[in-house]
Amino acid sequence: LHEALAPRADSLDGTRAALAALFPNRTLAAVRAPDAVDLAELASASGLPDADSPFAGSFAASAQRALGLLQPKAVGGAPLSGELLAAALHGLVAQLQAGAPRGLSLTATVYALMREWASAAVTSGRRAFSRVAPPLTEMRGQLAVALPAASLELLLRNATKAAYEAFLARLASVADADDPAAWLQPYAEQLRIAVEGEAARRGAGAG
């Protein structure tokens, strides 16, 4: 990693510097080599060595040290989850392999992914609403006659709740459900307009 991110005086140095800033502490930790018993246990169904073995103790200590060095990562002010970082790196590699123009941008790649995921989340929310809400064809048939207004309201309210839950679930790695980021507001508004429109259509169909 250190060698891959070293400057090379070319058009990708800016991208390398942005990636290197995400990994400021690139240290190595020595782990005791596993013995024959450890290797056999690692190859077993459980895949876990004896917790009391020197190898397991050494590995656990190194892992704990690594976890203690972890710091929250962000790009352009946007929190960077492991899923988003992996997708961004994959996107950068794909752009390089496709002969992308000079000066690849990690920030631009991250924000493009976030917009793509947010649009997909709106679609997921709309599909969730359609799954839970009574079909419009039924609202114009026998169900519309037998369904009290209060029951219809409850069904549509549950469908709306399912839509927003699906929206946030799709964005769990880039958004806090209790404190949605400002950049998500336009997408949440898209979903609100779509859901309210569908609810109104179904309500009118039952009227």
pLDDT tens, residue by residue, 23-56: 877 777 888 999 999 999 999 988 888 889 999 9
Residue 103: strand pairing partners = none
The one-letter amino acid at 38: D
> In the chain, what is the straight-line distance between the N-terminal and C-terminal CA atoms, in Å?
64
Instruction: Say what the pLDDT of residue 134 is.
Output: 73
**For the residues 168-181, what does the mean pLDDT come to?**
69
Cβ-contact 1, 22 below 8 angstroms: no
The one-letter amino acid at 23: F
Provide the percentage of residues in the chain whose pLDDT is more than 90.
25
Q: What number of H helices and E strands is found in the chain? A: 9, 2
Instruction: Say what the pLDDT of residue 82 is.
Output: 83
Average pLDDT, the chain: 81
Instruction: Say what the pLDDT of residue 166 is.
Output: 92
More confident residue, 64 or 80: 64
How crowded is the C-beta side of 175, counted as CA atoms within 13 Å? 25
pLDDT tens digits for range 84-143: 888 988 888 887 777 666 667 888 888 889 899 999 999 999 999 988 887 765 545 454
Could you give the 3-state DSSP secondary structure of residue 178? coil
Question: What's the pLDDT band for 75 if we cut at 50, 70, 90?
Answer: confident
